[in-house]
Amino acid sequence: MALSEPSVTDTMGGGFANPPRDAAIAFRAALDVMARPGVIREITGGHPPLPLSPAAGSLLLVLCDPETRVYLSPSCDTDAVRAWLRFHTGAPLVAADKADFAIGPWDQLCPDLARMRQGVQDYPDRSVTLIVEMDHLAAEGVRLTGPGIKAEAFLNLPETTAFVANARRFPLGFDTFFTSDSQIAALPRSTSIEGAS
Amino acid sequence: MYVAVKGGERAIDAAHEWLADERRGAPDVAELSISQIREQLSLAVNRVMAEGSLYDPDLAALAIKQARGDMIEAIFLIRAYRTTLPRFGVSAPIDTGAMRCDRRISATFKDLPGGQILGPTFDYTHRLLDFALMADGAVSPEVKEGGPTDAVPLPHVTEFLDREGLLQPEPEDNTPPRDLTREPLDFPADRPLKLQALARGDEGFVLSMAYSTQRGYARNHPFVGELRIGRVAVSMDIPELGFAIDLGEITVSECETVNQFTGSKTEPPQFTRGYGLVFGQSERKAISMALVDRALRWEELGEDNVGAPAQDAEFVLSHSDNVQATGFLEHIKLPHYVDFQSELELIRRLRAEAMMASTGPREAAE
Amino acid sequence: MSYNFAYLDEQTKRMIRRAILKGVAIPGYQVPFASREMPMPYGWGTGGVQVSAACLTPDDVFKVIDQGADDTTNAVSIRRFFEKTAGVAVTEKTTEATVIQTRHRIPETPLSADQILVYQVPIPEPLRFLEPRETETRKMHGLEEYGLMHVKLYEDIARHGEIATAYAYPVKVEDRYVMDPSPIPKFDNPKLESPALQLFGAGREQRIYALPPYTKVFSLDFEDYPFDPSKAAHPCALCGAEDSYLDEVIVDDAGGRMFVCSDTDYCASRRETGEAA
């Protein structure tokens, strides 16, 4: 334990330099991509410990605090990440089924998806938001239509089935941010998906 | 030639200046100090603290001064200030059993350990204007007997009924209560949330609701088991220290009512209770709150819903907050040209069509 | 004393931002949020103000309109609030603004994809005047049970020969949620389908909802009584526009009237560019 204890500087660094300003700018990127599925934007300001991407770290700084429950997938669940998250957000870490936000690569989040919060009939908003770490983001792959999309959009989703099923459950379901390096994209539950090209 | 209305900015500035001037009043009259308001209008200060949900007599006095004595405006000022304050932690529950009472009365027992303490009450004053107060420099009489005590803590009256099992026990529950100021109001509301809403609810509204129960809209036969007003310590656990430290003392008013009993074939009859707790000396509010609390408990106590307003949690909680109510009420002063215009056009058209239908096209032509 | 950027503390902004994102993800659904007391009264735009405060960045150009006008007193008051607390640039020009807060109107000038329109909402629940209980209306939305609304509209037709709702005309969003578009005149309803993101904030009622760009918005009607967004047929007396919503102004003691654009920026720009008739 003592050996893997992250250093104080690692933990305390990597937050927003100017929190009100940086958070406002980062939020607008997050808002923009959630409102326009398939659009890819830069989101910066946060410098979390590996394996978290700067984009995922920035998003966590924008959205998480002691009132949000966070689930870290196994590969993200390191002492350094825990310490960083605790110091900068104070968010309690929880099991996947309790989470407001769940972070990790798709292959690690996917097995727990069925147990995660999908909202209830009267309160579909009481549902998890996934932050899926990706190798890269590209406006190619499956065809997206629906709110936020003028005619059509494309995004390299990590798989199709789960997201198609999610859209069918609307208004229940989960919403997803995809992060890679300093880039972010999103897929709300309202988006219809057609098979990969 | 018509010129579109302009000058909103100038009008606002001018209104603010005029307001400041009116607030000050005649300049040859000495300006009120905050300490004068705090000390001499203390019940007003108490109400602002209670409904503003912030215990700070100086700021409440400032709010009253700034609001020109408009209580709801003062409460609003305190609320708006309160939301900007960072939250460092949550205090331990106060122990009203350890209260140092300035006033403590029971309507259910003639005498009881610790005795009845009348305290500084209007109750038995004759409501005659005291013109002596009009004279400048009136000297306040010295308190000959009584006055603030540091007497030993007094037992709650309800404890005596508890011991005999006559009063329905309240379950011990250490779940942190929901927080009305941090979460949206959501139904069904549990009792802690209802009490929270009532504690910061408008005194007039809660009073009227309570009064309606007395007049038969869900009557619940209340006795004031005990009303106590006094000072209690506020303490907070400091994790770094590993123990709780006292942060200071606040004055609160607490009312426990003993109400009509319930019982069934399996349960022998027991009295039930209503509860009120308010910042400062605010006993009208504390008693009202206890009555409304009791009325809202109909479901939990297996009583009938007689359709009385005071039984309707959604109605009571949605309309008890005077800052919300006054804002929405007064917003109808704002321009509604657009909505009104759309209604105007609609009603003109509907009238024209109606006249056309009844009198034929010629007469209806405009 | 000094307040945080855009007045609200960071934790409050995070809470509002989370609610906005869920609102965007579920178009037309009202997300409960823990609305805070603001230094302006409930009912005077606190919902819109909180949403704007959560969205604004220091680089934004902010516009506020009330009844379509930039110079109405409450619009001035809100604009000043953000000038002071967020230091943002402000404008009266619709085309220059990146965030527009509005009460009761949608600007006449078509909005673009890089703009956000923030509505102040008094009563977010379209079913509220048919069913006063939140617990009931929430169930109706959950079950997509909107019969009551259709009955009300049909009763209008039976009594008046048409749907007698002139503003806050209910819409259905993406074939799912019935939504109150705030008290805009029904003339504005077609503009609800927009390239801009539209956010709705109801402070006192503690609700946030959203229309992402290009979301399908359908004004409720019946096949034989289709929705009609038309307005009284007058041109603006100042700029001659025939396609804009008009305020009726009483100009003399005899009750003489004239009609002028409610959107003051639209009217002024038309006159500046010589489009006026």
Q: Look at residue B1 and tell me whether its pLDDT is greater than 90.
A: no
* pLDDT, tens only, C183-205: 999 999 999 999 999 999 999 99
* pLDDT, tens only, B270-321: 889 999 999 999 999 999 999 999 999 998 888 888 999 999 999 999 999 9
Could you give phi then psi for residue B44, rounded to 5 degrees?
-65, -45
- Answer with the residue of higher pLDDT: A94 or A197: A94
Q: Does A90 touch chain C (CB under 8 A)?
A: no
Could you give phi then psi for residue B263, rounded to 5 degrees?
175, 165
Chain C segment 199-238 residues within 8 A of B by beta carbon are 204, 206-207, 231-232, 237-238
Could you give phi then psi for residue C39, rounded to 5 degrees?
-75, 20
Give the neighbours of chain C: at least 3 Cβ pairs within 8 Å.
A, B
Q: Look at residue B6 and tell me whether its pLDDT is greater than 70.
A: no
Could you give phi then psi for residue B121, rounded to 5 degrees?
-120, 150
3-state secondary structure of B225: strand
Contact list, A175 vs chain C (CB under 8 Å): 21-22, 25
Cβ–Cβ of A125/C138 closer than 8 Å? Answer: no
Annotated active-site residue in C147, C201, C239, C240: C239
Cβ–Cβ of C212/A150 closer than 8 Å? Answer: no
C267 is catalytic: yes
Nearest residue of C to residue B322, measured between CA atoms: C42
Residues across chain C: 277
> First vs last Cα of chain A: how many Å apart?
47
Mutation target vs B (from C12, C22, C42, C134; most B CBs, 10 A cutoff): C42
* pLDDT, tens only, B47-102: 999 999 999 999 999 999 999 999 999 999 999 999 888 788 889 999 999 999 99
In the numeric block, the tokens 């010295």 are attached to B142
Virtual torsion, Cα C147, C148, C153, C155, nearest 10 deg: 110
Which residue from C36, C74, C160 is facing B83, i.e. has the nearest CB? C36
Which residue from C24, C55, C214 is facing A188, i.e. has the nearest CB? C24
Rounded to the nearest integer, the mean pLDDT of chain C is 93
Give B89: exposed, middle or buried? Use CB within 10 Å, 0-12, 13-18, 19+: exposed
Considering the entire predicted model, what is its pTM?
0.90
Rounded to the nearest integer, the mean pLDDT of chain B is 88
Rounded distance between C-alpha atoms, residue B27 and residue B20, angstroms: 12
Q: Does A64 touch chain C (CB under 8 A)?
A: yes
* pLDDT, tens only, B91-110: 999 999 999 999 998 888 88
Residue B364 binned pLDDT confidence (cut-offs 50, 70, 90): very low
Q: Look at residue B5 and tell me whether its pLDDT is greater than 60.
A: no
Nearest residue of B to residue C202, measured between CA atoms: B328
Please enumerate in sequence order all residues whose Cβ is within 8 A of that of B270, keeping only pairs 6 or more positions apart, or say none.
B165, B166, B167, B168, B261, B262, B263
Rounded distance between C-alpha atoms, residue B81 and residue C206, angstroms: 19
Percentage of residues of chain C with pLDDT beyond 70? 99
Residues across chain A: 197
Q: How many DSSP H helices and E strands does chain C contain?
A: 6, 12
* pLDDT, tens only, A31-69: 999 999 999 999 999 999 999 999 999 999 999 999 999
Nearest to B328 by CA among C44, C276, A114, C253: C44
Rounded distance between C-alpha atoms, residue C139 and residue C143, angstroms: 6
Residue type, A13: G
Cβ–Cβ of C195/A170 closer than 8 Å? Answer: no
Rounded distance between C-alpha atoms, residue A46 and residue A19, angstroms: 10
3-state secondary structure of B120: coil
Task: Provide the CA C276 distance to its chain's centre, in angstroms.
Answer: 27
C239 is catalytic: yes
Task: State the ipTM, two decimals.
Answer: 0.94
Give B94: exposed, middle or buried? Use CB within 10 Å, 0-12, 13-18, 19+: middle
CA atoms within 13 A on the CB side of B251: 18
- Answer with the residue of higher pLDDT: C29 or A197: C29
DSSP E strands in chain C: the ranges are 31-32, 61-66, 89-90, 99-103, 116-120, 171-173, 177-179, 197-202, 207-211, 217-219, 246-250, 257-261
Cβ–Cβ of C76/B12 closer than 8 Å? Answer: yes
Residue type, C27: P
Cβ–Cβ of A125/C176 closer than 8 Å? Answer: no
Tokens for C251, please give them: 């100009």
B15: left (phi over 0), alpha (psi -120 to 50) or beta: alpha
> Nearest 5°: CA angle at B205, between B200 and B207?
95
Q: Look at residue B150 and tell me whether its pLDDT is greater than 70.
A: no
3-state secondary structure of C89: strand
Within 10 Å of residue C197's Cβ, how many Cβ atoms? Answer: 27
Cβ–Cβ of B328/C232 closer than 8 Å? Answer: no
Nearest to A131 by CA among A49, A53, A42: A53
Q: Does C12 touch chain B (CB under 8 A)?
A: yes
Nearest residue of C to residue B10, measured between CA atoms: C73
C55 is catalytic: no
- Strands A142-145 and B270-279 come out as unpaired
Residue pairs spanning B and C at CB distance below 8 A: 145
* pLDDT, tens only, C211-262: 999 999 999 999 889 999 988 788 999 999 999 999 988 888 888 889 999 9
Contact A191, A33 (CB under 8 A): no
C236 is catalytic: yes
Q: DSSP string spanning chain A?
A: -TTTPPPHHHHHSSS-SSHHHHHHHHHHHHHHHHHSTT--EE--S--PPTTS-HHHHHHHHHH-STTS-EEE-TTT--HHHHHHHHHHH-PPB--GGG-SEEEEEHHHHGGGGGGS-EEETTEEEEE-EEEEE-S---S-SEEEESTT-SS-EEE--S-SHHHHHHHHTTTSS-EEEEEETTEEEEE-TT-EEE---
Rounded to the nearest integer, the mean pLDDT of chain A is 93
What is the model's pLDDT at position A197?
44
Tokens for B319, please give them: 């309309």
Give B9: exposed, middle or buried? Use CB within 10 Å, 0-12, 13-18, 19+: middle
Q: Look at residue C133 and tell me whether its pLDDT is greater than 50.
A: yes
Q: Look at residue B218 and tell me whether its pLDDT is greater than 80.
A: yes
Q: Look at residue B16 and tell me whether its pLDDT is greater than 60.
A: yes
What is the model's pLDDT at position C72?
87
CA atoms within 13 A on the CB side of C9: 15
Residue type, B42: S
What is the model's pLDDT at position A2?
43
Nearest residue of B to residue C123, measured between CA atoms: B328
Residue type, B343: E
3-state secondary structure labels for all residues of B143-191: CCCCCCCCCCCCCCHHHHHHHCCCECCCCCCCCCCCCCCCCCCCCCCCH
